[in-house]
């Protein structure tokens, strides 16, 4: 029937969007030691008092649903690195989903020594990746 809304497809799209926000590529700078706050900003936030130095190891807190999608994409990357890179660029990249993220995708592929993808291949690979994630989530739902 035409005009029906694919509820599970909407659910998968929402999960991928959530994963993209949680694992955004541009957020890596903060995790890798880039100074995201200067000393004046820290003093303002702590009302003029210098906070104690952090001690001990505190792992990054990650949403469990986003981590589940990350695990699916990581498994995808073990089978097809290009497909996983397209998914990362599409959902975790910055800018408009098609143009800027296609450029990001090709930059990531070039860094891995893989051939670039063209516009139509990018679109097709995104749909293949979406279907892959959808299939895994269906399998997990059935197994539960």
pTM metric for this prediction: 0.75
Query: Are the CB atoms for 72 and 62 separated by under 8 Å?
Result: no
Measured CA distances, 73 to 45, 83, 107 (Å): 37, 9, 19
The predicted-structure confidence for 86-96, as pLDDT tens digits, reads as follows 999 999 988 88
pLDDT beyond 60 at 131: yes
Residue 27 burial (CB count, 10 A) = 14
134 φ, ψ to 5°?
A: -60, -45
């Amino acid at each position: 029937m035409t005009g029906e809304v694919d509820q599970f497809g909407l659910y998968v799209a929402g999960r991928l969007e959530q994963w993209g926000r949680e694992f955004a590529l541009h957020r890596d700078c903060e995790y890798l030691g880039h100074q995201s706050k200067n000393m004046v900003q820290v003093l303002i936030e702590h009302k003029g008092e210098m906070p104690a130095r952090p001690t001990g190891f505190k792992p990054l807190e990650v949403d469990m649903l986003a981590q589940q999608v990350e695990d699916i994409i990581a498994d995808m990357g073990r089978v097809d690195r290009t497909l996983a890179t397209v998914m990362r660029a599409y959902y975790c990249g910055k800018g408009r989903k098609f143009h800027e993220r296609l450029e990001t995708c090709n930059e990531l592929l070039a860094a891995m020594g893989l051939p670039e993808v063209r516009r139509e291949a990018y679109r097709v690979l995104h749909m293949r990746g979406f279907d892959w994630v959808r299939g895994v989530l269906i399998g997990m739902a059935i197994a539960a």
